[in-house]
Amino acid sequence: MNEVAQSALEAHASGVSVWALFWQASIIVKLVMLGLLAASIWTWAIIIDKSMRYSRFRSQLNKFEHNFWSGQSLEELYNTLSERKAAGMGALFVAAMREWKKSFEKGARSPIGLQTRIEKAMDVTLAREMDGLESRLGFLATVGSAAPFIGLFGTVVGIMTSFQAIAASKQTNLAVVAPGIAEALLATAIGLVAAIPAVIAYNKLSADAGKLGMRLEAFADEFSAILSRQIDEKTAAR
Amino acid sequence: MKPSIAASAVLHAALLSWGLWSFSSPTAFDVSNAEALPVEIVPIEDLAQSLVGDDKAKLSDKPAPKPTEKPAKLPMPAEHVGDNEVDLDSPPKPQPKPRAVEQAAAQKQTQKAPDPQVAAKDAPPPPPPPPTPKAEPPKPEPAKPEPPQPQVAETPQPPEPKPEVDAVEQTIAAAAEDAPAVAPVPRNVPLPQVKPQPPKPEVKVAEAKPVETKPQDKPAETRPADTPAKTDQAKPAEKKAASKETKKSEKNTETESEFNADDIAALLNKEKAAGGGAKRSTQQASLGGERNTGTKLSQSELGELQGLIKKKMKECWAAPYGVDSTESLRVSIHMRLDPSGALEGVPSIVDGGSGSTTARAAGDAALRAVRRCAPYNLPTDKYDAWSELTLNFDPSAMY
């Protein structure tokens, strides 16, 4: 009995570094820690990816708006944009222009139907763009809310096992008790480390995505108004 | 997405490696600066119960008193540690330097001291014979202070004192065996015990006097001294004559010496009252008190002792009855016992036994009970545990 306690004491005393604490942990706590680490890596990957994509998207929108309001003819703009795969406002513009061209080339009779078709096409494109913008943000939200609980679960399990070990060794010395509890608390620490950036990034990125979506919607409405006026002018000219 | 995953992984790897490196060895709390108060838990038994030892020595595993100066073994069993010849209960105390004047007398007396005791122990009849041998020692002793004297014949005697003691015992034994006619005579005269000593004062007086005068006195005494020597060899019949002679000489000395204060001093027991016991010790001294004050009793021993006292008390104690039970008639009595189990001093009421008449009656009853039971037969080897007792008498617990 005494030897067991002694060996337990030595094992605990051997290392108090983070690495030693991790290796001393039980398999459940280890799995929790590794899962939280993976979640943290994925969270940060999403954060990096999204912030880069949003900044690129924003710059594309600015560039397109500049081109669009520069007085350039819609035909020329369509020709330059349709050659490459456009995103954002470009995609909306291309989708609307394609529908417009198809209708007029085949000589559509009803201007109201054309208007409706163009709006539908733009809505679909807008939805696709918004989906692309907001993809994976849900994961951030999940990590932000669930990671602390997962870490807490690891802590509870770790403290439980360490108390069982204390009961078995029949020693209440703080030097024996402390390493087990520190090891258990490490799980909660990792959970918080993963959750805090996830929550902050989710709030920031979803707000950004909302702003970008608003800009796209505004453009779609504006462009739809322009096309509607063009349709009216063309039908009146006929 | 892939580049961002790679970037995230690299970021985490960097963060983890930095974290592992920086948190790898948290510095231990520096507790050396904290003032530590040394707290020692001292059981009260160490103070309340001590074993014989030296109060200046270090505590050792084995309780042992200060090593005594005379390691020789005594014929009799001794319980108390000390250098004394006689086993006394009192702890040893440093001996004050004796006064110069009395030194010679004290020396003589200490040398003689064994004689009266031996004489006293053996039998009452012997005392008479001792006078004759006792008369001898004075002579050799004066010889020591007066080496210049020409009494060469007497000087050989000094080595004899011990043989003389033997001679005394022999004569005592012989006298005891011999005609009882001789014995009665000495019994009638208990004085002889006193008389043998007068010669000493004479010697002192003689010392005070010019040196040469003594030799003249002594020759008169030397005759009795010679006679005992003969008696040793000769038969009891001669002893009678010798005793008669000594008596005569005693009478002479009595007439010569009037009251002398030194006589009383000579009668006194010269054993130091605080001389300690006679038990010898050669062991390294250990921390302790002057005497054993704590005898640890096991629970069963304590219970046995309590049971003995309780049983005894039930026999002796007539609890006051016919009183209303609302009043507490509990009486605590403190008493001291001597090793024989007899009461030492007066038992006193420590608690209760005062106030109303019934309470006083209860107190008196308890006191009476303690006195009536008086010789308590308790195990002597645990005397330390029951030398002082406080007994609680409670009539309500009786019925």
* Model confidence pLDDT, tens digit, residues B190-232: 444 444 444 444 444 444 444 444 444 444 444 444 444 444 4
> Do B249 and B385 share a structural domain?
no
State the pLDDT at residue A191.
93
Shared domain check, B257 and B308: no
DSSP secondary-structure letter at B295? -
Dihedral of alpha carbons B185, B191, B197, B201, sign: negative
Q: If you measure CA to CA, which chain B residue comes closest to A47?
A: B4
Q: Is residue B28 part of a domain?
A: no
Q: Is the pLDDT of residue B282 over 80?
A: no
pLDDT of res. B291: 61
Helix axes A89-105, A111-134, angle to 10 degrees: 160
Find all residues with CB under 8 Å of A33, minimum gap 6, and list them.
A22, A25, A154, A186, A187, A190
Domain shared by B243 and B324, yes or no? no
A41/B24 Cβ within 8 A: no
pLDDT of residue B263: 75
A57-88 pLDDT, tens digit per residue, is 999 899 888 888 888 888 888 888 877 777 77
A65 within a domain of the structure (yes/no)? no
Q: Does pTM surpass 0.90?
A: no
Contact A130, A151 (CB under 8 A): no
Would you list which residues of chain A are within 8 Å, Cβ to Cβ, of chain B?
16-19, 37, 40-49, 52
Chosen for mutation from A12, A14, A17, A50 (greatest number of chain B CBs closer than 10 Å) is A17
Does A64 reside within a domain?
Answer: no
B131 with B260, same domain: the answer is yes
pLDDT above 80 for A19 = no
Please, how many CA atoms are within 13 Å of residue B145, restricted to the half-sphere of its CB? Answer: 19
pLDDT at position B297 is: 67
Compare all CA atoms of chain B with the CA of A44 and give the residue at the minimum distance.
Answer: B8
Angle at which helix A174-237 crosses helix A111-134, to 10 degrees, equals 160
Does any CB of chain A come closer than 8 Å to the CB of residue B19? yes
- Those residues whose C-beta lies under 8 Å from the C-beta of residue B96, and which sit 6 or more positions away, are none
CATH code of residue B350? 3.30.1150.10
Looking at this predicted complex, what is its ipTM? 0.73
Average pLDDT score over residue span B98-120? 49
Q: Is residue A173 part of a domain?
A: yes
Calculate mean pLDDT across residues B79-102. 65
- Looking at the fold, whether B118 and B253 belong to one and the same domain comes out as yes
Which positions ≥6 away from A2 have C-beta within 8 Å? none
Q: B254 and B140 in one domain? A: yes
The span from the CA of B273 to the CA of B84, in Å, is 10
Residue A175 has what pLDDT? 79
Q: Does B39 touch chain A (CB under 8 A)?
A: no
Task: Give the residue-averaged pLDDT of A197-204.
Answer: 94
Range of the domain at B343: 299-398
Residue with the two structure tokens 């006194």: B268
Closest-CA distance, A135 to chain B, in angstroms, reads 12
**Residue B375 is which amino acid?**
P
Q: How many domains does chain B have?
A: 2
Interchain pair B1, A45: CB under 8 A: yes
Question: How confident is the model over A175-200, as pLDDT tens digits?
Answer: 778 888 888 898 999 999 999 999 99
pLDDT for the residue B356: 77
B29 within some domain: no
Q: Is the pLDDT of residue A18 over 60?
A: yes
Q: Which helix (H) or strand (E) holds B6?
A: helix B2-23
Q: What is the residue range of A22's domain?
A: 2-52+73-237
Phi and psi for B133 in degrees, rounded to 5?
Answer: -65, -35
Q: Which of A148-152, B211-215, B305-309, B360-364 has the lowest mean pLDDT?
A: B211-215
- The count of CB pairs under 8 A between chains A and B is 41
H, E, C per residue of chain A: CHHHHHHHHHHHHHCCCHHHHHHHCCHHHHHHHHHHHHHHHHHHHHHHHHHHHHHHHHHHHHHHHHHHCCCCCHHHHHHHHHHCCCCCHHHHHHHHHHHHHHHHHCCCCCHHHHHHHHHHHHHHHHHHHHHHHHCCHHHHHHHHHHHHHHHHHHHHHHHHHHHHHHHHHCCCCHHHHHHHHHHHHHHHHHHHHHHHHHHHHHHHHHHHHHHHHHHHHHHHHHHHHHHHHHHHHHHHHC
Q: Is B23 on the interface with A (CB under 8 A)?
A: yes
User: Is the same domain home to B349 and B260?
Assistant: no
φ/ψ of B82, rounded to 5, equals 165, 175
Q: For the segment B296-338, what is each residue's pLDDT rounded down to a tens digit?
A: 667 777 788 888 888 888 888 777 666 665 567 788 888 888 8
Same domain, B184 and B136: yes
Q: Are residues B261 and B356 in the same domain?
A: no
Same domain, residue pair B344 and B391: yes
Chain B residues with CB-CB distance to A43 below 8 A: 8
In contact, B289 and B56? CB cutoff 8 Å: no
User: Of B211, B245, B267, which one is at a domain's C-terminal end?
Assistant: B267
The domain boundary residue, chosen from B218, B251, B267: B267
Q: Given a cut of 60, is residue A24 above it in pLDDT?
A: yes
Count structural domains, chain A: 1
Q: Kindly state the greatest CA–CA separation across chain A.
A: 104
Q: Best of B2, B4, B20, B27 to disrupt the A interface by mutation (most A CBs within 10 Å)?
A: B4
Q: Let me know whether B246 and B314 are in one domain.
A: no
Q: Choose the weakest-confidence range: A44-48, A222-226, B274-278, B350-354.
A: B274-278
Residue B264 has a pLDDT of: 74
At A170 the pLDDT is 82
Do B393 and B256 have their domain in common?
no
For A135, nearest residue in chain B (alpha carbons): B1
CB contact under 8 Å between B20 and A52, yes or no, is: no
